[in-house]
Amino acid sequence: MFSGKQAPDFDFLFGEAWYRKIRESDYPIASGYLDGVEIIRENAHTLIPKFAHDPKMLLVLDPPYICTAQGSYRQDDYFGMVQFLRLMSVVRPPFIFFSSTRSEFVDYLDWVIESKQNGWERLSNYQKISLQTSLNYSAKYEDNLVFKF
């Protein structure tokens, strides 16, 4: 399917036109690439506090975009504004956030810092790398990598 189009289920997917994008060669083997890295999948609200004082913990966060359609996430536990605010209450540096102009994440950070909301110091002096991108010929937006070390 064309980039930016999402299939909610297999029936929809198999009813769409497909375009040949199959690799004709294998991907290079990356054995050992993640040796020594511990990957934990757990709810952020319970995981982050367990490691809050560990200087080796780096938060890499890619939450669903707030105030946007989240139908493609199909999670039993909808990630809405309350879940976002709970997440932000436990975030501390070092962190990396993936975001875009499809959400108001950067505006939120600026508001927290400017109005000195609770925990604003943890977010102040963040840095941002932006990239103009597009999903297809008509859907253009800015991708952001927001970080603080």
- The domain tally of the chain equals 1
The answer, yes or no, to whether residue 34 has pLDDT greater than 70, is yes
**Residue 88 falls inside a structural domain:** yes
**Residue 33 falls inside a structural domain:** no
Range(s) of the domain holding residue 121: 39-148
pTM surpassing 0.85? no
Give the Å distances, CA to CA, from 16 to 2, 4, 39, 137, 138. Answer: 10, 13, 35, 19, 19
**Tokens 């200087």 label which residue?**
55
Q: Do 115 and 124 meet the contact criterion of CB atoms below 8 Å apart? A: no
**Residue 14 falls inside a structural domain:** no
**Residue 78 falls inside a structural domain:** yes
Q: Tens digit of pLDDT for each residue in 79-128?
A: 778 888 989 999 999 999 998 877 889 999 999 999 999 999 999 999 99
How many other CB atoms are there within 10 angstroms of residue 22's CB atom?
4
**Residue 61 falls inside a structural domain:** yes
The fraction of the chain above a pLDDT of 70, given in percent, is 86
Rg (CA), the chain: 19
**Residue 30 falls inside a structural domain:** no
